[in-house]
Structure 1
Amino acid sequence: MNPVSGAGRLVLAATPLGDARDASPRLIEALASADVIAAEDTRRMRALSAALGVTPHGRVVSFYDAVENSRIPALVASIADGDTVLLVTDAGMPSVSDPGYRIVAACIAEDLTVTCLPGPSAVTTALAVSGLPSDRFCFEGFAPRKPGERNRWLTTLVSEPRTAVFFESPHRLATTLADAAEVLGDDRQAAVCRELTKTYEEVRRGTLRELADWAVDGARGEITVVLAPAPPKQATETDIPALVEQVQARVAAGERMKTVVAELAEAAGMSKKDLYNASITPHPPT
């Protein structure tokens, strides 16, 4: 179903992480022309507008976690009446560990137009400067606050084959890194990115243990942590028959052998050629 013709739209707009010069011309135009601006922090939005030399034309409303649900019906109604509602958060892309997801879902349910002005994101910026593999990654939001929940979450990353990115507050950083070293191993590589794009930007790279020791002295500002993928598991002789069974079962179900072998061999830390040969070698009946 196509969005309602002639109706308004919700515009998600990425805002600078710290340097106002990173604002896109489209963001500047949208701040000046939107009928309604829904801002995570209205003071920060007005400060950004002033830095950009923009005077907002529309009505400004707050849109942060505690009021998000109560604000949605009126904003959706405004969009249905033909208004352009601009959603901005304090920094980066709305919906990425910030308000946005719920109003997007509400607009989609009402068949209203949702669009996006792309721009800065702490997730991809940290990933780019970390020096860790970036071909595959996952975003984990904020690290859990409670120790038990945090350790259970870290356990899920023990064998994670992708680089993981997550946010953490400065006053919990040292504890989280120490817990990570305990659960994931002292030698797991990581990067702590602090105050990205701002005057005091700092990127610390090293092992989890090194970073945990560094963080004990305290860190300030917005923190993004990038965690290296788990080292490949080395397959043993006893693992190979089980891997061969997986290959043969998936091929029988219609998957390409080359693709299946490459995926399983990488996860198991063994040669693709060896797994392929083992999978096509006839086995004597038992």
Structure 2
Amino acid sequence: MTSSSSSSESNRSDAQPDREPSIHSEGRSTSHAQRAFSLTLVATPIGNLGDFSPRAVQALAEADLVLCEDTRTTARLLTENSLSVRTEALHEHNERQRVPALIERLQNGTRIALVSDAGMPLLSDPGYRLVCAAIEAGISLTVIPGPNAALSALVLSGLPPHPFMFVGFPPPRSSARKDTFAKLHAAERAGLSATLIWHEAPHRLAETLADMAEIFGPARAAAVARELTKRFEEVRRGPVAELATFYAENAPRGEITLLLGPAPEEENSQDTLDTTLNTLLETHSIKDAATLAATACGLPRRTVYARALELSAARKQ
């Protein structure tokens, strides 16, 4: 074993990692450092400006144009790193309209960098339409990886790190939120087992946690990560109902990532079926609620439909 290890070390000593080729979608090997990309997706700090990488600084310095959610936010980042580059806004309200002209500029040789206000572009942020259009047009693109709130929260949460599902932001209204949670819970009954991750606004956190406790059960393990990488970083862990109570009494501030642990293995019962059906009947027709509940609980649809009719009739009395 020792001689084999020494041989491996000897072989590695001749390698030059900074000059190793990388394989790109075009199917040829090329040096990433020497290749010029038309569109570069650049991760930005989620709080601590020290997390902005040297490669990210270089990418912005070499760009002809930086697309950003809020030009004022990006201006502060550029100033902090002594960068002077043209910026334009690209956000959810103008991205669809702007994409054709941006693709034309990329095809004409303009080097564009895309950033969000914080973290990785596209993840709950603008840019997806532009990236899809660039790929369709055969435009070369790359990413400068960096900070990400969802993954940072995941590794701090104490919940199983994989598999996980990043769901974005929950709907702002409670009824739509419960509907979304019910569908996820139905998927869990059908076999989904993953740590679920959302971002949430601080003023909605307590209500969202309460809705989670109602749909997923009060004892489900959860975590709330707040102000990650910043001075007042905090991760609070516990049963989802306890977290709901805590944040109802202690209004949170700052950027928040919310995590829910995987569903525990349990046998389906009449109580489970009734709970699932009653939740679904709040926002679905009897037929649709029965279909979802049958899949979730692994029971015959005809049996579940009959029970849905009974529960629906009881709700009207």
TM-score interval w.r.t. the shorter chain? 0.7 to 0.9
- 5+ residue gaps, structure 2, are 1-24, 28-34, 270-297, 299-317
Q: 1:99 and 1:56 mapped to 2: Cα distance?
A: 23
| Structure-1-length-normalised TM-score | 0.77
Residue in 2 that maps onto 1:45? 74
Residue 135 (str. 1) matches residue 162 (str. 2):
yes
* Aligned residue among 171, 181, 196 for 2:228: 196
Q: 1:154 and 1:172 mapped to 2: Cα distance?
A: 15
Q: Which runs of 4+ in 1 moved over 3 A?
A: none
Residue in 1 that maps onto 2:216? 184
Residue in 2 that maps onto 1:230? 263
Per-residue CA deviation, residues 228-249 of structure 1 (Å, 9 max, x unaligned), is 000013489xxxxxxxxxxxxx
* Aligned residue among 78, 88, 102 for 2:105: 78
Residue in 1 that maps onto 2:202? 170
Could you tell me the percent identity over the aligned residues? 44
Residue in 1 that maps onto 2:305? none
Q: 1:111 and 1:119 mapped to 2: Cα distance?
A: 25
Residue in 1 that maps onto 2:183? 156
SS at match of 1:157: helix
Contact 1:123–1:224 under 8 Å retained in 2: yes
SS at match of 2:47: coil
Q: 1:14 and 1:97 mapped to 2: Cα distance?
A: 13
SS at match of 2:55: helix
Q: How many angstroms does 1:7 deviate by? A: 8.7
Residue in 1 that maps onto 2:49? 20
Residue in 2 that maps onto 1:32? 61
Q: How many angstroms does 1:156 deviate by? A: 2.5
Contact 1:7–1:79 under 8 Å retained in 2: no
Q: How many angstroms does 1:31 deviate by? A: 1.7
Contact 1:39–1:87 under 8 Å retained in 2: yes
Contact 1:8–1:79 under 8 Å retained in 2: no
Q: 2:26 and 2:160 mapped to 1: Cα distance?
A: 39
Residue 120 (str. 1) matches residue 147 (str. 2):
yes
SS at match of 1:126: helix
Q: 1:118 and 1:210 mapped to 2: Cα distance?
A: 35
Per-residue CA deviation, residues 103-129 of structure 1 (Å, 9 max, x unaligned), is 000101111112100111111001010
Q: 1:75 and 1:32 mapped to 2: Cα distance?
A: 19
If each structure's helix is expressed as a fraction of its own residues, which one has the higher value? 2
Q: 1:110 and 1:131 mapped to 2: Cα distance?
A: 42
Q: 1:175 and 1:8 mapped to 2: Cα distance?
A: 44
* Aligned residue among 204, 211, 233 for 2:243: 211
- 5+ residue gaps, structure 1, are 237-267, 269-286
- Letter of the 1:174 counterpart: A
Contact 2:169–2:200 under 8 Å retained in 1: yes
Alignment RMSD: 2.1
| Structure-2-length-normalised TM-score | 0.70
